[in-house]
Amino acid sequence: MSKKAIHFQVSERKLLLRGFDLLMVLLGLYVLGLFFEKEFLEISWNNRTAVLILLFYIAVFGTVFELYDLQKSSRLDVTFRNVVFAVSTAAILYFLTPILTPFLPDKRHQIVYFYLTIIFSIFAWRTAYTKLIASPRFYKKVLLVGEVAHLDDFVKGLVQADPNYKIVGFINCHGPKENAQKSRTIQEYPPHALMQVIKAQSISEVVVASYDSETITTEIYNDLMLLLERGFTIREYTQVYEEITYRVPLQFIGKDFYKYFPFSRSNQNTLYLFFNRLFDILFSVFGLFCGLLMLPFILVGNLCGNKGPLFYRQERVGKNGKVFKIIKLRTMIVNAEANGAKWAEFNDSRITKFGRFLRRSRIDEIPQFINILKGDMSVIGPRPERPCFINELSQSIPFYETRHIVKPGLTGWAQVKTRYGASVDESHVKLQYDLFYIKHRSFFLDLNIMVKTLSTVLYYRGQ
């Protein structure tokens, strides 16, 4: 057995990014203090409270501005933009934090040096990360053993989620078949070459992607057993797919579906549900208050660029299939569905100019806080769909109605991870994210969704 190549897992790389971001900020400010007697923030034990607050702000806004998105972190141009946004926001809030942070200095250049030092320190480390850690030398090389069916979908999902997860080849574990579909994505090796490929390509992991393990050939079975006895990593494909893509792989689930849906205990946890409802009420009251403050501007915008009623109501399907009336700010022309219900599309001609702004900024969602207060919805959950679309989608997509075991939400895992579902295929992907949320529902996942929602609003990505 050859030595495995060094590889950092997804969680390890994210921890590495967070840890070194904060470490480089401390190092940069410490070095700054060596050259200037009166810097804005001295790195010392006496200033530990002020230092910790700064690190906290950078960590939070680094998450909001997607500094720890592995896809974006591998591109220096995107990374630099996100670093500037995150540091600028954190610095402004830090300057405005009373008592616990240093008073603004008399000399303005001290603030400029403080601000530029943080940006330079983080970006210098991120440049090193891109050139070293995110380079091909640290890719995780994987060999896939399994069936040809859905192979390209499996590979595509993993590559999109983790650019450092490299599937170098595929071995058909069921032996040769007539008219077998060939994968165009990765190279196929003969079954007898499994051991040679692992050694020649420095494979770190074997992923077995088979619906029925009984059909695996004896030759491959013996090779896999030998690898297992030598401590080699062998993993099951649905586990890998869910861990890396953060969605449930519905395309690989058959009659043994019950193995894939051990839903989170939070769905029945009384304490979690109580605090979830309390958060819904408090957040909705705050949201409606903000909506009232924006109402004069919304009225003017609606009058000028969205003539017609300000609100509209529409039937949606909620928890346990219960139908309720959702309330939103109108973003389309009046009688937009005169010819029947239709999916909203990218650059939909029915959306007005002001309506497009409302959608992109998510302001059109504010009236839904009324639905949340009434108990029809929650702040976080799957997007509520219309009954006519539910009937269509449930016939085309297995397990679609499973998303109704929790309340629909104003925002959710699917909403922050993928684009608006405007077709059956896109709704299939969204369902995978929705089921991941239901399966792993927790306080920390809810917090993650709220932070990513803030990113969606700030980057003007609403649809």
Please, where in the chain does CATH 3.40.50.1380 lie?
A: 139-245
For residues 421 and 430, is the Cβ–Cβ distance under 8 A? yes
pLDDT of residue 288: 95
Q: pTM, whole model, 2 decimals?
A: 0.80
How far is residue 116's CA from residue 127's CA, in Å, rounded to a whole number?
16
pLDDT of residue 176: 56
Helix, strand and coil content of the chain, in percent to the nearest 5, comes to 55, 10, 35
Q: What top-level class would CATH report for the domain 139-245?
A: alpha beta
Query: Which residue reads 């910790």 in tokens?
Result: 52
Structure confidence by residue, pLDDT tens digits, 409-444: 999 999 888 876 566 778 888 999 999 999 999 999
pLDDT of residue 101: 77
Query: Which residue reads 């804005």 in tokens?
Result: 40
pLDDT of residue 10: 67
Half-sphere exposure of 298 (CA within 13 A, CB side): 23
Burial class (CB in 10 A: 0-12, 13-18, 19+), 88: middle
Amino acid (1-letter code) at residue 2: S
Tens of each residue's pLDDT in the chain, 463 residues: 555 556 666 677 788 899 999 999 999 999 988 887 666 788 888 888 889 999 999 999 998 888 888 778 878 888 999 999 999 999 998 988 877 777 777 677 888 889 999 999 999 999 998 887 766 667 888 888 877 666 777 787 787 777 778 888 888 876 555 444 555 567 888 888 888 888 888 888 888 877 666 667 788 888 889 988 888 888 888 888 888 888 888 777 766 676 667 788 888 889 999 999 999 999 999 999 999 999 999 999 888 888 888 898 999 999 999 999 999 998 888 877 766 667 666 667 788 888 888 888 889 899 999 999 999 999 999 999 988 888 888 888 888 888 899 999 999 999 888 876 566 778 888 999 999 999 999 999 999 899 888 887 777 665 5
pLDDT of residue 238: 82
For residues 174 and 180, is the Cβ–Cβ distance under 8 A? no
pLDDT of residue 327: 93
Structure confidence by residue, pLDDT tens digits, 31-58: 988 887 666 788 888 888 889 999 999 9
Torsion of CA 122, 126, 127, 128, to 10 degrees: 110
pLDDT of residue 4: 57
Partnered with residue 166 across adjacent β-strands are 141
How far is residue 355's CA from residue 342's CA, in Å, rounded to a whole number?
17
How far is residue 54's CA from residue 36's CA, in Å, rounded to a whole number?
20
